[in-house]
Amino acid sequence: MSVDTQAATDRLMRFLAVEGVTGKEAAIGREIAAALNDGGVPTDAIRLDDANSRIPVPTETGNLIVDLPGRGAMHNQPRIMFMTHMDTVPLCAGAKPKLAGRKIVNEAKTALGGDNRAGCGVLVTLAAELAKQGLDHPPITLLFCVREESGLWGARHVKTSDLGSPVMAFNYDGSSASNVTIGAVGADRWQVEIFGRASHAGVAPERGISSTMILALALADVKAGGWFGKVVKGKRTGTSNVGPVTGGEGRPAGDATNVVTDYVHVRGESRSHDSKFFKEITRAYKAAFEKAAKRVKNSDGKSGRVRFKAETDYYPFRMKENLPVVKRAVAAVSAVDAVPRVRAANGGLDANWMVRHGIPTVTFGAGQNEAHTIDEWINLDEYDLACALALRLATTR
């Protein structure tokens, strides 16, 4: 039982050449569907769900779902699922993939998109090899999610009733195919609006209330308290980051250097494997912004104010190593002559929401390296291993 690695690489190159940044997955969805047809999957087995109608940000299309009926002696075994995400980060727009030995690199000064076109290649190769080789397998669902890169939205809003009740799932998203990822962090995404008071910065700066100064004081307080970047409080660990800083409606914060800035909008995140701890990190940011707003006053004694909002983006999880999905994953990695490394991820995965939906999910890598950077490349040895691993997982009795 082997995989046609040349065909698998050709599929990956095909997918990398199609632009489909987060929220704009329609074109790559069509390309994946066409490749599935080419691999022997009938059109009526391929469909789009309506998750995009429930996602609160503009999203071109729903998740792509494929139903593969069971075959042979395994046709009536419980259904399993393989999943990945279709979207790439915006930095991947304009990528030009190029083969370079056992790597795929990028001729453009953009990110490549291996995260996660490599996962798409694995799933389509799995379907093609099952059909080509006529292998026995249980009923299988393939799930290609939208908007993973901007908040795991596709996995969050998929209806489990659309998935055929799989008893376990295998997600492809990462570097090493032998990494058996059984847990991941949870995260808050927060935003704060900082309201100051505009005034002429040259004629009457004392009458203004600078929202940028409130921002600066708040971040200095957060840094001094050890709540920024890598956060360690005793045995508890997590991370935090401050992201885009803008003015109203996406404009820069402030209109000119001669006007005291009256409004700033800031977004950030807090992460930890401990759900209580990432909430504590978020509270530290909230307290810092509220404290800073009170400190910045104008000549009339009036201070700024803030409006802070936070929402849990996804929940942390860690599955027990004796679960059937983990045992199957470890056995399959060993069967393809690799050494399984059971681990937890420090980033969020679509698996976070699958586990939340009640479907135990293990995540493997598919050869991505330097994801989300202009130095991104794909390791074809790891990609081939990921394809072989998927075939093993699908046919294990």
CATH of the domain at 208: 3.30.70.360
Alpha-helical regions (H) of 134-164: 153-157
Side chain identity, residue 8: A
- Predicted confidence (pLDDT) per residue in 272-307, tens digit: 999 999 999 999 999 999 999 999 999 999 999 999
The pLDDT confidence band at residue 362, using thresholds 50, 70 and 90, is very high
Residues 338 and 201 in one domain: no
Of 369, 337, 340, 12, nearest to 175 by C-alpha is 369
Residues 155 and 297 in one domain: no
Residues 11 and 130 in one domain: yes
What whole-number distance in Å separates Cα of residue 56 and Cα of residue 152? 12
Query: Can you read off the two tokens belonging to residue 383?
Result: 């990609």
Of 132, 128, 113, 126, nearest to 13 by C-alpha is 113
Q: What is the pLDDT of residue 254?
A: 76
Q: Is residue 304 within a helix (H) or strand (E), and if so which, with residue range?
A: none
Number of other CB atoms surrounding residue 321 within 10 Å: 12
Residues 111 and 171 in one domain: yes
Q: How many helices (H) and strands (E) does the chain have?
A: 9, 18
Residue for token digits 């030009």? 96
- Predicted confidence (pLDDT) per residue in 21-32, tens digit: 999 999 999 999
Burial 199-224 (b: 16+ CB within 10 A, else e): bebeeeeeebbbbbbbbebbbebbee
Average confidence (pLDDT) over 237-266: 89
Q: What is the pLDDT of residue 295?
A: 97
Mean pLDDT of the chain: 96
119 φ, ψ (degrees, to nearest 5)? -65, -40
CATH code, domain carrying 339? 3.40.630.10
The pLDDT confidence band at residue 390, using thresholds 50, 70 and 90, is very high
What whole-number distance in Å separates Cα of residue 86 and Cα of residue 98? 20
The pLDDT confidence band at residue 102, using thresholds 50, 70 and 90, is very high
What whole-number distance in Å separates Cα of residue 249 and Cα of residue 255? 13
Residues 175 and 235 in one domain: no
Residues 107 and 19 in one domain: yes
Query: Can you read off the two tokens belonging to residue 360?
Result: 């135990």
370 φ, ψ (degrees, to nearest 5)? 55, 40
- Higher-confidence residue of 313 and 143: namely 143
Q: CA dihedral in degrees (47, 53, 55, 60; nearest 10)?
A: 60
Q: What is the pLDDT of residue 173?
A: 97
In whole angstroms, what separates CA 205 from the centre of its chain? 44
Domain boundary among 251, 281, 314: 314
Average confidence (pLDDT) over 46-60: 97
Average confidence (pLDDT) over 199-218: 96
Domain boundary among 287, 314, 341: 314
Residues 172 and 68 in one domain: yes
Domain extent at residue 226: 186-314
- Provide the percentage of residues in the chain whose pLDDT is more than 70: 100
What whole-number distance in Å separates Cα of residue 158 and Cα of residue 148? 12
* Position 153 pLDDT exceeds 90: yes
Residues 141 and 49 in one domain: yes
Average confidence (pLDDT) over 123-146: 98
Number of domains in the chain: 2
Residue for token digits 């393989």? 82
Query: Can you read off the two tokens belonging to residue 376?
Result: 């991104």
Average confidence (pLDDT) over 15-24: 97
Q: What is the pLDDT of residue 252?
A: 77
* Position 248 pLDDT exceeds 90: no
Residues 169 and 207 in one domain: no
* Position 35 pLDDT exceeds 80: yes
Domain boundary among 265, 291, 314: 314
* Position 271 pLDDT exceeds 90: yes
